[in-house]
Amino acid sequence: MAYIFEEPSRTFSEYLLVPGYTSRECTPANVSLGCALVKYRPDREEPAVKMNIPLTSAIMQSVSDDRMAVALAKEGGISFIFGSQSIESQTAMVARVKSYKSGFVISDSNVAPSATLNDVLALKEKTGHSTVAVTHDGTTNGMMLGLITSRDYRVSRMTGDEPVSGFMTPVDKVITAPASTTLHQANDIIWDNKLNALPILDNFGRLLYMVFRKDYDNHKENPLELLDGDKKYIVGAGINTRDYETRVPALIEAGADVLCIDSSEGYTEWQAVTLAWIRENYGDRVKVGAGNVVDEDGFRFLADAGADFVKVGIGGGSICITREQKGIGRGQATAVIDVARARDAYYGETGIYIPICSDGGIVHDYHFTLALAMGADVLMLGRYFARFDEAPSTRVSVGGNYMKEYWGEGSARARNWQRYDLGGESKLSFEEGVDSYVPYAGAMKDNLAITLSKVRSTMCNVGAVTLSELRSKAKLTLVSSTSIVEGGAHDVVLKDNK
């Protein structure tokens, strides 16, 4: 008969942290969330890739593109740009992140002069941006013809069919700056002329970037931004076990700092073959994670195969139905605890520390701290980041509420058969993910600040100011179903303060 684990498969919601001693030095302001992403020998070297916050965005079409990568790098984390697209498209996204000039924004709100006010309003609804560039062909880098802001039209006095050429501010009346302009100079122009936006044009009048007044303060508010040695944002990219011989070289050429094999199940020969090819051709210069696994055997396999970090979790994602479809997986809390023990044992035997990344199962903000206390070095999040403006999915109105579209890589919409590849036909035989909505939450920065504030505060309750201290000092207790009820508001009638 099959081997049966005696311990039940548990989720994060079945645990609570027990407070420890908090000294006067243990304050949220003193907490560091820095961590290693790739393997290293702690007694003799620093990790090649470090993060300032332990968060990565999931390798998903609806979560991680170049815009999300820039936004998360500003906060100290790393995005893994989704690999279920053409090599040319993915490498272009990586290149845009690496060429991004802090403060210089590539315009994503552009229309042609033949577009109408209704088109502008629809674009504003989609992107949330009120400044729209008018280019000759409606593209990001087209010849700039004018600029539209909310001051250029009044919806109540217009039909919506008016062409933008009739109400835009023509480019000859717009203050612009040449490509040689520095960020400092651009901000001076903005402040001296009381502008909200400054277009940056090349010598032929093509739109290159937009510099916004509001981004000046944002630039000063990103002390944790994650940069490489050339002061460029660090970015990751997903790969698969089919076209790695062509995709990996292209991504490295584009500037990707770290790669990760995107697969629903990592304890396979295909992952070992992919890792072996990368090591044979690039040695240890290319950093690549592997996964996903849920137990010690899976971790050991990928560690011995040469993975720089190991991703943990099968079936725990909010849009993942692998457990329903195939009966494969493990509760995320149990998986993280088991793999963390394997990582520590491996470190004790070899002196090599291989970080683990918990992927899936995060529902509430307090789950972040629980996962880190259980041994995760890094967290990978899909649903959490999909709610924000920076995610590439569309914002829609559902039942009078704003939502963001969110679909799994195993859904019919994504058709990412490579992620579920078991060496058979090049197709997705059945779905392992769903197409869904998540409540729209606005800009990432404000939401993430609240979440990390909770993590830092909880770490202080445990008596830890670093993640390694959290792992060594944390005490966890299982909770009953009735104590979960007790943990929320109960036996009262809540006020409606809206």
- 320 as an active site residue: the answer is yes
How far, in Å, are 100, 118, 250, 447 from residue 243 at the CA level?
A: 27, 43, 11, 37
Sign of CA dihedral 187, 193, 195, 197: negative
The phi-psi region of residue 194 (left if phi > 0; otherwise alpha if psi is between -120 and 50; otherwise beta) is left
Query: Which residues make Cβ contacts (< 8 Å) with residue 24, sequence separation at least 6?
Result: none
151 Cα distance to chain centroid: 34
Cα separation, 266 vs 400, in Å, equals 41
Spell out the residues 6+ positions from residue 230 whose beta carbon is closer than 8 angstroms to its own: none
Asked if 30 and 22 touch (Cβ cutoff 8 Å), the reply is no
Please check whether residue 135 is in contact with residue 108, taking contact to mean a CB–CB distance below 8 angstroms.
no
Closest CA to 263 of 382, 410, 94, 380: 410
Taking the alpha carbons at both ends of the chain, their separation in whole angstroms is 58
User: How far, in Å, CA of 29 to CA of 288, rounded?
Assistant: 33
Per annotation, catalytic residue among 247, 300, 383, 419 = 419
Q: Which of 138, 54, 98, 149 is nearest to 455 (CA)?
A: 54
Structure tokens at 425: 């036909």
CB 179 within 8 A of CB 209: no
User: How far is it, in rounded angstroms, from Cα 267 to Cα 272?
Assistant: 9
- 411 vs 320: CA distance, rounded Å: 9
212 DSSP β-pair partners: 197
Tell me whether residue 419 is one of the annotated catalytic residues: yes
Q: Which of 320, 357, 456, 460 is catalytic?
A: 320
DSSP string across 189-240: HHHHTT-SEEEEE-TTSBEEEEEEHHHHHHHHT-TT--B-TTS-B--EEEE-
Residue 295, C-beta contacts closer than 8 angstroms, at least 6 positions apart = 330, 335, 338, 339, 342
Under a CB-based contact definition with an 8 Å cutoff, are residues 249 and 94 in contact?
no
For the chain, helix, strand, coil in percent to 5 are 35, 20, 45
Q: Catalytic site residues? A: 320, 419
